[in-house]
Amino acid sequence: MIRVIVLSVVALATVFASHAQDIPNVNIKDYTLELKDGDLSLDLDLDLSQLDIKGTQVVVITPKVINGADTLQLKSVGIYGRNRRIYYQRNEHIKPTHPGDMDLTTDDTEHLVNYNASVAFVEWMNGCRVELSRRDYGCCGHSEAMGDKELVRKFPLDKYTPELIYLRPEHEVVKTRELSGSAFVDFPVSQTVIYPTYRNNIAELAKITGTIDSVKRDSDISIKSVFIKGYASPESPYSNNTRLAKGRTEALKVYVENMYHFGEGFIKTDYEPEDWAGLERYVELSSLPHKEEILAAIRSDREPDKRERYIKTNWPDEYRHLLQHCYPALRHSDYTIEYEVRSYVDPVEIEKVLRIAPQNLSLEEFYVLAETYESGSDEFNELFETAVRMYPNDPTANLNAANSAILRKDYRGALRFLEKAGNMPEALYARGVLEVYMEDYEAAKPYLIEAQKLGISKAEEVLAEISKNRYKLTMSMSEN
């Protein structure tokens, strides 16, 4: 049974608009605050019909952009009584409004006043609030603050970072593992007897015994079987190569049995008289002049001896090259050590094994340890990176590693892991979340819609959030 957990990353900051009328007799019908092309723009529809402005009075309404100790006043709206308008026409230098501001008369307040201001958006404005203030001016320059109204508490909205879904891997009842390799044990021509000191045999035999010893030294591991398969190269008759591959494999089996005294049937063997697959791989990667013709001959249905003779006769130069540079590597013994590892339950023990032998941990054990780490921490992310290195083709390991890569903003890495995560609902959701982190909301939608159809309830929440324009806030009278 797969268990799903959701680890919260960053809570979404929201925009709050004040609905209280804090400015006497000033009504806001509609407004739009928008960040576009590097500019912050404010559009307002102001209903000023309730203002009672005396002939000697001026009312100045000013939007302000505020963030901490920083404040920027946008252009003001000044509504002048008749006498004040005439007075300031004669005394322009002491007007309460400035060039670029909107200067109105009381007659203008009978209709909705449309206001628009735009300023360059600079770094300190990120997360700002926007307020509207009213200040009244009377005769003799006397002024009085009449009130402020908060339009927006925070703008723009913080970048949305959806929650990530990590999967708990299925429990591995028996932890069976394998170690494999190839040894190139040399034999005198046509012989099947092993001479440990012949040519490079000390090093080649040590490959097999070293692998077995590395497993036997670990007290948490028990070896279950050893498998050896011997190969010969295609030169000489097929019948002789059959004798050599079989006899040399048996000789290697006896050598290992004498070293470790395994029980009857513990070492299993097989042999292949001629390694044509290895020859084909070599030619495919080569730059031989008649590469394609030789490959066609290798892949033909001719009998092995006729196939080899055909290549030798038609392309003698290439054949000599293969005989010298390829055929020796075709005479090899592949071995596999199968073993079992005991289970670990205690996170403290799991962490210790992680440091010295991570290959001994099951995916579920990696997950058990992850639950003790803080989500998104270096230890947390590194743990899932290690898990996917141990299980590079496991969909769950790749999904969890993709999530951790997203947290680190390693989006290329996340995409690479998701390519191996398959099409389970959680992987579709993660693909959508990755696009959201990269702010490509249109690309995210198909993945999230499909994940929602397959039962991922979080996808609906994400779809709702990305439908919001985080750089544009509109409010109408019906919402106030």
Looking at residue 400, its pLDDT comes to: 96
pLDDT score of 357 more than 50: yes
pLDDT band at 477 (very low <50, low <70, confident <90, very high): low
Q: How confident is the model at residue 4 (pLDDT cuts 50, 70, 90)?
A: very low
Say yes or no to pLDDT of 480 above 90: no
- What pLDDT does 1 receive? 35
State yes or no: pLDDT of 130 exceeds 50. Answer: yes
Q: Across the chain, what does the average pLDDT equal?
A: 91
Taking 70 as the threshold, does the pLDDT of residue 478 lie above it? no
Distance CA(190)–CA(212), nearest Å, equals 29
96 pLDDT tier (thresholds 50, 70, 90): very high
DSSP assignment of 84-103 equals HHHHHHH-GGG-SS-TTSEE
Q: Quick one: DSSP state of residue 418?
A: H
Q: At what angle do helices 201-216 and 238-260 cross, to 10 degrees?
A: 50
Q: Over 70: is that where the pLDDT of 7 sits? A: no
| More confident of the two residues 248 and 3 | 248
Whether 45 and 57 have beta carbons less than 8 Å apart is answered as: no
- The pLDDT of residue 203 is 96
Per-residue pLDDT at 469: 78
392: which DSSP letter?
A: T
- Alpha-carbon span 1 to 315, nearest angstrom: 59
Separation between Cα atoms, residue 231 and residue 196, nearest integer Å:
19
What confidence tier does 158 reach under pLDDT thresholds 50, 70, 90? confident
Q: Are 104 and 57 in contact (CB under 8 A)?
A: no
Percent of residues in the chain assigned helix, strand, coil, to nearest 5: 40, 25, 35
State the Cα–Cα distance between residues 270 and 187, nearest whole angstrom. Answer: 18
Asked whether the predicted pLDDT for residue 50 surpasses 50, the reply is: yes
Q: Is the pLDDT of residue 341 over 60?
A: yes
| Res. 2: pLDDT tops 70 | no
pLDDT at 208: 96
Which pLDDT band, with edges at 50, 70 and 90, does 140 fall under? confident
Q: Give the model's pLDDT for residue 42.
A: 96
pLDDT reported for residue 100: 94
All structural domains of the chain: 27-155 (2.60.40), 164-170+344-470 (1.25.40.10), 175-339 (3.30.1330.60)
pLDDT of residue 472: 84
Total residue count of the chain as it appears in this document = 480
1-10, 59-68, 223-232, 431-440 — which is least confidently predicted? 1-10
Highest mean pLDDT among 141-155, 310-324, 461-475: 310-324
